[in-house]
């Protein structure tokens, strides 16, 4: 049921990792709120950390101007501040001590007189918002992630920019692979979802695409690269998702961040695989981990437009009293779903996805065997 209470003052926050298009959302939401509805807007600094520490400041038309093409977020962000499990320090053994500080965040929002919050983030941020909804706060969510892995939406802003960056990197490394007759592996982000790897791999014509959803056999990958070499293809390009793992094996963990809501940081599988391919085949191999370059920089035109649509739609939802919902794209159209339905969940690639079928049809190797095992 819609809440028809007039909205006079709102907050905007960006949570989780940075992403191209965040400022475009801030711009669209702020200007729509002020120009169309006369709503006062406050920026919450550094995601949930700003709610916990009561760090907020007013946003006006000037604040929201000339930021459309700017990467990052003018509000700052944090991927460690979970109000339901916030690190307060360490105990006598040096172990982190966590507390539930949601009541503190609620009190700060009430003190500032915010009627609700536009929350821009991924599944972890929506989980944090859902925890505060349980405490009585009101949110409208905007889906952000280069991983494109939020449930119930076909696309998130930031994804297309990351695809463009990853594709450009694969294209550039392709020329080196060809010149030096090497097997070149390019590792992309994405955690447990292979959307970024799949799209960039297809766009760049990668010979092998390894994604988390399809565990690979090392012998299949090696045989494929050797087979190309025997057919006169003296090089191979591999697009590798950071969450990729062999059949029966485990993901490669770069580090563990104990005070983060998502403590496991993946990375390095391409380096491990590169050495294994070299040892088994004798082919010269190199690995490149793209890392944070995929998240930085100016958003591409598609993401600027999508982020603007999302920011505008978020304000329309809250004005209509449609709180605690996430703006999404379904069948090419904007709509919304309850935030609780996307919290702590990931949208991964299904085996029958049309892109998988298209890639297999043109001879792309996914490292699995013909029987699907």
Burial class (CB in 10 A: 0-12, 13-18, 19+), 230: exposed
Q: What is the mean pLDDT of residues 126-131?
A: 94
Q: How many domains does the chain have?
A: 2
97 and 178 share one domain: no
Look up 279 and say whether it is catalytic.
Answer: no
214 and 269 share one domain: yes
Q: Output the domain CATH number for residue 105.
A: 3.40.50.450
22 and 77 share one domain: yes
Q: What is the mean pLDDT of residues 339-354?
A: 93
- Assessment of whether the complete model's pTM goes beyond 0.85: yes
291 and 167 share one domain: yes
**What's the pLDDT at 179?**
86
* Lowest-pLDDT range of 12-21, 139-148, 174-183, 267-276: 174-183
Instruction: Exactly one of 18, 147, 303, 324 is catalytic; name it.
Output: 147
Domain ranges, residue 264: 162-296+350-361
Burial class (CB in 10 A: 0-12, 13-18, 19+), 171: middle
333 and 356 share one domain: no
221 and 318 share one domain: no
CB atoms within 10 A of CB 156: 28
Q: How confident is the model at residue 260 (pLDDT cuts 50, 70, 90)?
A: low
**What's the pLDDT at 2?**
64
Q: What is the mean pLDDT of residues 246-255?
A: 89
289 and 192 share one domain: yes
Q: Output the domain CATH number for residue 271.
A: 3.40.50.460
**What's the pLDDT at 342?**
93
144 and 201 share one domain: no
Q: Which distant-in-sequence residues (6+ apart) come within 8 Å of 127 by Cβ?
A: 82, 261, 343, 344
Q: Do the Cβ atoms of 32 and 315 come closer than 8 Å?
A: yes
**What's the pLDDT at 49?**
95
**Residue percentage of the chain with pLDDT more than 90:** 80
User: Does the pLDDT of residue 28 top 70, yes or no?
Assistant: yes
217 and 312 share one domain: no
**What's the pLDDT at 373?**
62
Q: Dump strand ranges (E) for the chain.
A: 9-14, 40-44, 56-59, 86-90, 96-99, 116-121, 139-143, 183-188, 208-210, 236-241, 253-256, 264-266, 285-289, 325-330, 333-338
366 domain residue, yes or no: no
Average per-residue pLDDT for the chain: 93
Tell me the per-residue pLDDT of 76-95, one tens digit each, with 9 for 90 and over: 998 878 899 888 888 888 88
What is the rounded distance in angstroms from the CA atom of residue 237 to the CA atom of residue 171? Answer: 10
């Amino acid at each position: 049921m819609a809440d028809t209470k007039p909205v006079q003052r709102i907050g905007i926050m960006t949570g989780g990792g940075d992403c191209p298009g965040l400022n475009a959302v801030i711009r669209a939401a702020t200007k729509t709120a002020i120009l169309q509805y006369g709503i006062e807007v406050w920026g919450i600094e550094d995601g949930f950390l700003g709610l916990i520490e009561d760090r907020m400041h007013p946003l006006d038309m000037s604040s929201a101007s000339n930021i459309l093409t700017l990467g990052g977020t003018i509000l700052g962000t944090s991927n460690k501040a979970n109000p339901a499990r916030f690190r307060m320090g360490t105990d006598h053994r040096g172990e982190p001590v966590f507390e539930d500080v949601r009541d503190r965040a609620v009190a700060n929002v009430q003190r500032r007189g915010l009627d609700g919050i536009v929350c821009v983030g991924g599944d972890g941020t929506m989980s944090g918002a859902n925890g505060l909804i349980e405490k009585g706060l009101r949110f409208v969510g905007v889906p952000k992630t280069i991983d494109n892995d939020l449930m119930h939406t076909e696309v998130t802003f930031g994804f297309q920019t990351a695809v463009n960056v990853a594709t450009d990197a694969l294209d550039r490394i392709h020329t080196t692979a060809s010149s030096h007759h090497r097997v070149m592996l390019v590792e992309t982000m994405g955690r447990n979802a292979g959307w970024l790897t799949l799209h960039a791999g297809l766009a760049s014509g990668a010979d092998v695409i390894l994604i988390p959803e399809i565990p690979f056999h090392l012998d299949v990958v090696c045989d494929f690269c050797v087979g190309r070499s025997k057919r006169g293809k003296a090089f191979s390009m591999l697009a590798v998702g950071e969450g990729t793992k062999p059949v029966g094996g485990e993901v490669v963990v770069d580090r563990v961040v104990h005070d983060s809501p998502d403590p496991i940081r993946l990375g390095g599988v391409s380096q491990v695989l590169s050495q294994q391919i070299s040892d088994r085949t004798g082919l010269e191999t190199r690995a490149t981990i793209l890392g944070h370059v995929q998240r930085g920089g100016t958003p591409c035109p598609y993401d600027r437009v999508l982020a603007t649509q999302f920011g505008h739609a978020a304000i329309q939802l809250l004005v209509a009293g449609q709180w605690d919902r996430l703006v999404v794209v379904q069948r090419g159209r904007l709509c919304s779903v309850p935030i609780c339905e996307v919290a702590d969940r990931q949208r991964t690639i299904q085996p029958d996805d049309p892109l998988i079928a298209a890639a297999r049809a043109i001879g792309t190797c996914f490292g699995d065997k013909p029987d699907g095992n």
